[in-house]
Structure 1
């Protein structure tokens, strides 16, 4: 995110580190720029979709993959309650890990200029060898 937002001049260092640009906003910006789908598909990630449905956002925007990755990460790293909501949704931590791994792989591929096919690392129910064209290709 630093490379894509600060080193390119899109944000200043002060703006990048300010509360005006929280982690979910930075992640959403770089994934959106890469053309990555941020929608949480209930058929592929039922636990993440259930978690998203229970979360509240300001305005009319729905919870997306960037929100889920950063919220789950923050709740695991900075717990505030004895029984965190992330543990009450069976499979949420696993699905968040899959989503994070998928997003990171796409961002790495984009950063090296890759324009071919890739395997969606967020899916667990796919055919062996099933690939998709990179979103930015």
Structure 2
């Protein structure tokens, strides 16, 4: 994150482009990148190690005092929100609380998830973009509610895990667990759908239902996902549309219950990987829709994507 800000450096003013600041939900948040960040990050990638790359200050917008329990949901929201955005685990580690006189009143030494230095894989977030503040405005308030916060933690954790750990098959299963959780919450808990109607839709139908509600296309781009398109086009005994939800659901089922010992999904090399791309794309957009984010994102399945090549989310121009 970067935003050129003129800050005081002793007796002189210096231009520093590593500061990001915003006021969100009554909290003033300032994050500073360390001046030697580039050198440190290169070393972390080489050694696959962990180090503090930024420092953060969190205050009440009005300058009033607060307790540790009041700020903990903000720190949790920042940990999970930024990890989902970056596609790897990042965390506000070693927080300390100071009183008005600058005396230490609280500190927390705990083990938090943090990924050793590496690139962000399929991350949807462009860290040099201008939508970080809008994104955090959408997520931070949601963590104040215990049930809402649990759902977001589960979904964001699944998105990070399916981007960074395990084999492709494990990543697909992780994503589907998250999607099934989300469809249950959206269709059954909030939408009031009966259990019978919910089950009758099947995995593909439930996924298609929430995608359509969000305005996310269900079709498969054959120019990018050619093997996945060929797979579902040639598939036998297909119930419903031959689209993305049907394709990824069938591949998930084939991973769990293969019809043949070796399975049929491994014959065209790269098919399972394309299914992973698409299901990660679905989970990412559904999560962004869930938090009512209306900014831009980097598509993980876009062909010949350039650095900083972003586009609006599909529902950006729809009425809230």
Instruction: Compute the TM-score of the two structures, normalised by the length of structure 1.
Output: 0.89
Alignment-derived partner of residue 109 in structure 1:
288
Distance 1:98 1:73 in 2: 13
State how 1:1-137 maps to structure 2 within 5 Å: 1-16=183-198, 18=199, 20-56=200-236, 57-58=238-239, 62-123=241-302, 125-137=304-316
Q: Distance in 2 between matches of 1:70 and 1:113?
A: 26
Query: Counterparts of 1:123 and 1:10 in 2: how far apart (Å)?
Result: 35
- Conserved? CA contact 1:98–1:123, under 8 Å: no
1:14 Cα deviation after fit: 3.8
| 3-state secondary structure, aligned to 2:276 | helix
- Output the CA distance in 2 between the equivalents of 1:110 and 1:84: 34
Matched position secondary structure for 1:11: coil
Deviation of 1:79 after TM superposition, in Å, equals 1.4
CA distance in 2, matches of 1:72, 1:123: 21
Report which of the two has the higher share of strand. 2
Q: TM-score, normalised by structure 2?
A: 0.40
Q: Take 2:192 and 2:217, find their aligned partners in 1: how far apart are those partners?
A: 22
| Conserved 8 A contact 1:115-1:136 | yes
Give the gaps of 5 or more residues in structure 2. Answer: 1-182
| Helix, strand or coil at the partner of 2:265 | helix
**Larger RCO of the pair (alpha carbons < 8 Å, separation 6+):** 1
Gapped regions of structure 1 (runs ≥ 5): none
Measured in 1, the distance between the counterparts of 2:244 and 2:273 equals 14
